[in-house]
Amino acid sequence: MSESRRKFLKNSALLAAGFAISDITFGQLFQDDEEEEIIYDYLIENGQIFIDKRFKNVYVGILPNGKLKLSSLPLKAREVIDASGKIVSPGFIDILADNSSKPEATYKIFESYKVSDGVTSALQLHGGQDKAAAYYRACSKVDHFVNYGVSTKVMNIRRNNKSISSRLKVIEKNLAYGALAISHSIEYQPTPYSELLEYGKLAYKYQRPLFLHLRHSSKRKELEGVKEAIKIARDTGCAIHIDHLNSTGGTFDMPGALQLIRDARKDGLKITTCVYPYSYWATYLHSKRFNEGWRERYNLTYSDLTVVGTGEKLTQARFNELRQKTGILVAVPPGTMPLDKTVDLALKEDFCLIGSDGGIERANRANNHPRGAGCFATAIRHTLDIGIPLEETLYKLSELPRKLLRPALMRRGKIADNYWADLVIFDKDQIHGAATIANPNQFSKGIDYVFVNGRIACQNGKLGETVGRPVKIQAARVI
C-alpha cells in the first residue's frame, strides 16, 4: 500500500472518530503530501550572475539532468561553489572554431584548449565538413569536452564535385541532416558570383546563415568583397555572416566596411560579422594569400613572417622552400592590423560577434595562431582594458551567437531556468589569454570553472568531465 493511501485511510478514521485528537486541524488532515525536496548537484552562490545583459545576485542551481534553476533563496545541493568576487557567465560560444583537417585524430586536443578558454560550444562554421552526417555519427561515438557542430564546407564539396548541380545536392543533403550553416572561403577558392547565388538560395531555403571568408584582403579591393557579400544577401534574402572582418574586408578601411554593413542592415538585410582580438593574422604559406604580389598588397616582406609554434623568421629562400609544403602556418607581425583601427571599432557594433578562427591541433607547440587557445579570455581582457563594459562583451560571446544560430542553440547561451548549464566562472581582474606566437599551447588564466551540460569540464586549468553534445538543427526548416 502506498504512503499516500495509508495517510488517506488514517485521516478518514480520524474524521469518523469526531476529531478525537484535538491538536489536528481540518486543513492538516487534507493537505497534500509534501513534494520531495529537490537536491541539486551544484549551487553557485555570491557571484555576479550575467542575466539579460545585467549582473544580478541570485542563486544558481544545477540539476542532475544538467539544466539550470535560478532562485532568490538558497537551494539544497550536494556541492556549493562560493563565487564571491567572480563573474558567472553563460559559456562562450565559438562560431569560428577550426578543427576541420583531421578532427577524428585531433578533436580531444582541440577541445581541451577551447574549454580551458571558457568555450562550451565549439562550432566550426568557417571550415566545417563536407559530409555532415558522417561527422556527427563519428563524433557521437566518442566523448567531448564541449558541445560541437559544423557547417557544410563548400571548398571540399567543390573539389570533389565538378558540376554545380551535384555540389548543390551534397550541400542540401548536409543541411537536411542538420548542418548549422553553409560556409565558403572565396579568397582561397575563387568562385563565380552566379554560383555563390545558388549557395545563398539554399541558405535561404533552409534558413541557415551563409558564412563567407570574403574574396579580397587587399587595401585596394577589400570593400568590394564586403559589397559582394551584401549583394548576395540582397539578391537571395539569406542571412550572411562575414568571417573575421578585421583580417578580411576591414583591415585597411574598417570604418568603410562597417558603414556598408550598417546601411545594408537599415535596408532590412541580415548581415553579421565577427572579429578576433589580435593585431596580426596568420595563415598557411601554401594559400593563395601568398600568391605573387603579396608583399605589395600587405606592405610586408619575408622577414616579417614567423612560423607559428617555433618562432622561426623566414628568409626568401626559406619562404620558397616552405611554400611547397602544406600545413605551414605563418604569422605577420603584431600591429599589422592595429586594434584601435580595426577590432575596437567593430566591437562597438551590435552586429559584431567574436569568433576565434582557430584551434590547437597538436600536443606540443602547435603550428596554430594563439587565438586557437586564448581568443575569449583575450577578448575579455582587451575589452575591459579599453573601457568596453563587460556586459557588452559577454553578450557578444553568448547571446548573439545563440540568436544567430536559432533554433540550434535555443537552450544555450543564456542563464535562465531550464537552459543547459553551460557556464563559466572567472575573475575579471585575472582573466587573460596566455597563448603566444612562440608557444600557442597555453591554457587561459583566471578561469575557475567551466561547466558543460551541468558537469565540470575544466576547473582551474585542469580538465574534467566529457559530456559535450552535438549542436545541429533537429528538424530542418525549409521554405
Specify the CATH number for the domain of residue 393. 3.20.20.140
Residue 227 lies in a domain: yes
- This prediction has a pTM of 0.89
Residue 72 lies in a domain: no
What pLDDT is attached to residue 23? 36
Crossing angle of helices 222-236 and 254-266, rounded to 10°: 10
Residues 241 and 145 in one domain: yes
What pLDDT is attached to residue 24? 34
Residues 13 and 139 in one domain: no
Residues 366 and 247 in one domain: yes
Question: Which residue segment(s) compose the domain that 293 sits in?
Answer: 282-331
Residues 288 and 258 in one domain: no
Cα 145 to Cα 38: distance, rounded to the nearest angstrom: 27
What pLDDT is attached to residue 476? 63
Cα 188 to Cα 214: distance, rounded to the nearest angstrom: 9
Residue 246 lies in a domain: yes
Residues 295 and 264 in one domain: no
> How far lies 113's CA from each of 23, 143, 145, 460, in Å?
64, 15, 10, 13
CA-based nearest residue to 409, from 475, 478, 476, 472: 472
CA-based nearest residue to 126, from 193, 168, 181: 181
Pairing of strands 271-275, 352-354: parallel
Chain centroid to CA 412: 11
Residues 270 and 416 in one domain: yes
Cα 305 to Cα 440: distance, rounded to the nearest angstrom: 16
Residues 216 and 302 in one domain: no
Residue 61 lies in a domain: no
Residue stretches of the chain with pLDDT short of 50: 1-34
Residue 169 lies in a domain: yes
182-185 sheet: strands from edge to edge: 92-94, 119-129, 147-153, 182-185, 210-213, 240-242, 271-275, 352-354
Residues 204 and 104 in one domain: yes
What pLDDT is attached to residue 281? 86
Residue 67 lies in a domain: no
Residue 70 lies in a domain: no
CA-based nearest residue to 125, from 359, 382, 379, 370: 359
Q: Are 154 and 382 in contact (CB under 8 A)?
A: no
Residues 316 and 212 in one domain: no
Residues 116 and 209 in one domain: yes
What pLDDT is attached to residue 474? 83
Cα R_g (the chain), whole angstroms: 26
Residues 109 and 189 in one domain: yes
Residues 103 and 181 in one domain: yes
40-45 sheet: strands from edge to edge: 68-71, 59-62, 40-45, 77-82
Cα 405 to Cα 5: distance, rounded to the nearest angstrom: 50
CA-based nearest residue to 448, from 466, 469, 464, 470: 464
Q: Are 106 and 99 in contact (CB under 8 A)?
A: yes
Cα 163 to Cα 184: distance, rounded to the nearest angstrom: 17
Query: Domain count of the chain?
Result: 3
